[in-house]
Structure 1
């Protein structure tokens, strides 16, 4: 998310590149952001469990959705109570419930789907796994519908960047590959190539194709700070856009097969400093 980022992604709440509980969010709204983050983390952990079966994952996700949307009695478990807390938050703020239930749609898919044939198919997954996070923040801050396309572009960018960062570990731990299979077939690459010590020339070409798409998304996302009215959220969104650009560049220059590519402290400092012009 861009604020989850990495509820972000969205992927929603693990290995965050951009912390959800950012100090840039107003103190009044932080409890609601935290409630959303806690819920997203729980359902993400369910979907990414290495011990639950697909059926068990879906049953638990359905249970979380029932508590969130139907106000049914919640079992006495801390993870389920995150759904009740978010239910109360949504009632208080008027944020649409689909900003959470769309995440559940994505995580149900994660429970049973481990491969993506095309970039279009992957982008459709991001529509549910990442974009709702940005829409949650926009709705929480009472931003207008004109901000949604740029937010969706940013969230999809962050999700794909996270897929590239975790391309090897996702395959090892969860047998998931988000790299489109048609690109692999076109460049004579197989999924198992992600398990090598370093990326092959052909796999590197595929990464760059995906990063070209990410660059286009980040370009579209540049409109988000300009369109956002809340000053704190405007600054937050600007920082995240810059961080997405820095991470995309790092993924061009470094090898996510050889090791997880991360942002540096310098990237964060530069992103914040460049963004302060949006706080005026």
Structure 2
């Protein structure tokens, strides 16, 4: 298989999952490289989530965990095999992308560490543990996008990390009911205790004022992170700034929808619809037309 066929293979993987062509906003030149990164991440994510663990069947669950970890470990060995001796098309394309854009391997190994954590860890003691997970699961993607566009200032990385972490958190609060079905809880245990919300309440879908206050607290904290990263948008070239502005407003829109359902994501799963796109586009265009009022003090103080 030659390099063009390898990139086409990655494109087919991306097309299977994506709702719109990647090249729509990133451009035809960069699209193959985005496809390669996406294919690497998508397959690893599938390995981490392969098959549900069965409640009360720890022997079988342990075997499933081992199988998942074995696949992720093999995936990492392919990543580190820069000579592509295994001839996997995803890595033929990915290694070409890594070489052309001088991408740090650590961003990819961080992603794999996060996927391993998905297999091994389903509870978080405090918010710092949740942030550490986001640092590995979400932030590398934002940084890779910046590398592809040669936008590598430290201030840009800082803002990107804020936005990516906020997007991951918004997804957690949006998907609480889905994650419960996988026996995963991303709400920090210490904060659940603080707001008097028990695991039993969650699994019984017991929505009450305590849960509402807990999730309201998480949503506000996440909104603050979005605001902290907003300054990134107008440091970027077009059309990347439009893509990031749409992403930023999409994340904020999810938080708005969580608020509109009264924070009851035990019962409802707020999500974006095609009807939201026009509103998001207007907001994004307005954002990129404004001169950024942010300065770099946020980064300096962080």
TM above 0.5, one fold?
Answer: yes
Query: In 2, distance between residues paired with 1:266 and 1:212?
Result: 25
Greater than 4 Å deviation, 4+ residue runs: 16-20
Sort the Cα spacing of 1:18 and 1:158 in 2 relative to 1 into closer, same or farther, 3 A: farther
Q: Residue 103 of structure 1 aligns with which residue?
A: 111
Give CA-to-partner distance per residue, 1:52-89, whole Å, 9 cap, x none.
Answer: 722221111111111112235327xxxx5423421222
Structure of greater relative contact order (alpha carbons < 8 Å, 6+ residues apart): 1
Give yes or no for the alignment of 1:53 onto 2:60. Answer: no
Task: Please state whether the residue corresponding to 2:40 is helix, strand or coil.
Answer: helix
- Does the aligned pair in 2 maintain the 1:17–1:263 contact within 8 Å? no
Task: Please state whether the residue corresponding to 2:285 is helix, strand or coil.
Answer: helix
Query: In 1, distance between residues paired with 2:212 and 2:195?
Result: 10
Sort the Cα spacing of 1:83 and 1:194 in 2 relative to 1 into closer, same or farther, 3 A: farther
Query: In 1, distance between residues paired with 2:172 and 2:23?
Result: 23
Task: Please state whether the residue corresponding to 2:146 is helix, strand or coil.
Answer: helix
Q: Residue 64 of structure 1 aligns with which residue?
A: 75
Task: Please state whether the residue corresponding to 2:245 is helix, strand or coil.
Answer: helix
Sort the Cα spacing of 1:97 and 1:165 in 2 relative to 1 into closer, same or farther, 3 A: same
Q: Residue 9 of structure 1 aligns with which residue?
A: none
Task: Please state whether the residue corresponding to 2:26 is helix, strand or coil.
Answer: coil
State TM-score, norm by structure 1.
Answer: 0.86
- Does the aligned pair in 2 maintain the 1:64–1:83 contact within 8 Å? no
Q: Residue 248 of structure 1 aligns with which residue?
A: 255
- Does the aligned pair in 2 maintain the 1:65–1:83 contact within 8 Å? no
Task: Please state whether the residue corresponding to 1:222 is helix, strand or coil.
Answer: helix
Question: Which of the numbers 237, 247, 250 marks the counterpart of 2:244?
Answer: 237
Please tell me the root mean square deviation across aligned C-alpha atoms, in Å: 2.3
Give CA-to-partner distance per residue, 1:192-246, whole Å, 9 cap, x none.
Answer: 3223356222111111111111111111121011222x21111111111111111
- Does the aligned pair in 2 maintain the 1:47–1:110 contact within 8 Å? yes
Q: CA deviation at 1:28?
A: 0.6
Sort the Cα spacing of 1:38 and 1:275 in 2 relative to 1 into closer, same or farther, 3 A: same
Give yes or no for the alignment of 1:25 onto 2:26. Answer: yes
Q: Which runs of 5+ in 1 are unaligned?
A: 1-12
- Does the aligned pair in 2 maintain the 1:232–1:279 contact within 8 Å? no
Write the mapping of 1:160-199 to structure 2, written as runs, cut at 5 A.
160-172=169-181, 174-197=182-205, 199=207
Report which of the two structures shows the higher radius of gyration computed on alpha carbons. 2
Query: In 2, distance between residues paired with 1:45 and 1:113?
Result: 16
Q: How many residue pairs align between the two structures?
A: 260
Query: In 2, distance between residues paired with 1:158 and 1:274?
Result: 17
Write the mapping of 1:241-280 to structure 2, written as runs, cut at 5 A.
241-254=248-261, 255-277=264-286, 278=288
Task: Please state whether the residue corresponding to 2:24 is helix, strand or coil.
Answer: coil
Sort the Cα spacing of 1:18 and 1:236 in 2 relative to 1 into closer, same or farther, 3 A: farther
Sort the Cα spacing of 1:268 and 1:22 in 2 relative to 1 into closer, same or farther, 3 A: farther
- Does the aligned pair in 1 maintain the 2:134–2:168 contact within 8 Å? yes
Query: In 2, distance between residues paired with 1:196 and 1:272?
Result: 39
Query: In 1, distance between residues paired with 2:255 and 2:131?
Result: 17
Q: CA deviation at 1:96?
A: 1.9
